[in-house]
Amino acid sequence: MEKVLVTGATGFIGLHCIHQLLNQGYAVNGSLRSPERKDEIFDALKNVNTPTENLNLFTLNLTEDEGWDEGMRGCDYLLHVASPLSVKAYDDDYFVKPAVAGVKRAFKFAKKHKIKKVVLTSSVAAIFESDEDKEYYDENDWSDPECHKINSYSKSKTLAEKAAWDFIKEHKNSFELSVVNPALVIGPSLTGDLGESNKAIEMVVTGKMPVAIPLQFGFVDVRDVATAHILAMQNPLSNGERFALSERDLWYKDIAKLLIDNGFEKAPTISVPIWLAKFLANFNKELKITAPYLGKTRSVSKSSKAKDTLGWNPRSAKESILDVASQIKSCLLYTSPSPRDRG
């Protein structure tokens, strides 16, 4: 039985990866920062009828060596998912240092333990941020960490991914590497924690966003992001490749209309123009972060690389949005996997 180490086991993407790997017959080592959260993981998996006898959990920290030998020992693959994420405007010390240190540390131990392949969770944030102003991007595009408009989160994803590719260049024939670059990851949570990225939907469902601002995101379901990680792990054609993941792009007004049409009455019915949204951003910290992107399209949705190379077949982003909205509305702590789950 092949074994996979998944870092960030309590995270939104990480736990979905573990769920699918266990159902596909892999043994899994999962890492977490807080040992007191072990029961939360086992309970969540049991609630979706996932067998857990081949799951072991280890306490690891991105910035310390302790625990990595134990967690990595006997593993064939590494899914390095763990990385800081927040919608708040934290600085480089919060995002960049642990993200880069975590990649370097994980890769050092992967080489030591002769891991066959690593799949790294990056982001479109490592693709979009540069002085080049265009609407459509693909895997050949890179964010510039020195760009004047780049935020700390995007810088962390860019520098962490660059550190990964630099490691492979420096340590040839150590292990294979594939990188997954998802857009905004949404979808049902396996625990009571909806995660940071689902807040984009939560604000609309709960009425915390009274008007639809002119902001567009590319969306992809967390279940399909987990599937992409596993497909990349399994498929040798993914070696040395990046995969941008986005099912489609939607404006907030599109999300609001979808929710209203499906009975979510607190979604906003009024859209505001760009100039007004920028003015309002002066009085709202979270909105201020989005100000440079108001009214702009930044998309990887035209890239079919994951579909063509991996056979990746994501569900509709609209389905994902409604799944999240239903979970929020009903206050469910656990969600049964969709019939389309490939795991």
Exposed, middle or buried, 265 (CB in 10 Å: 0-12/13-18/19+)?
exposed
238 DSSP assignment: G
Distance CA 196, CA 173 (A): 36
Structure tokens belonging to residue 122? 């990056």
- CA dist 74 and 29 (Å) reads 10
284 DSSP 8-state letter: -
> Which of 38, 117, 155, 157 is flagged as catalytic?
157
157 is catalytic: yes
Q: Which residues carry out catalysis?
A: 157
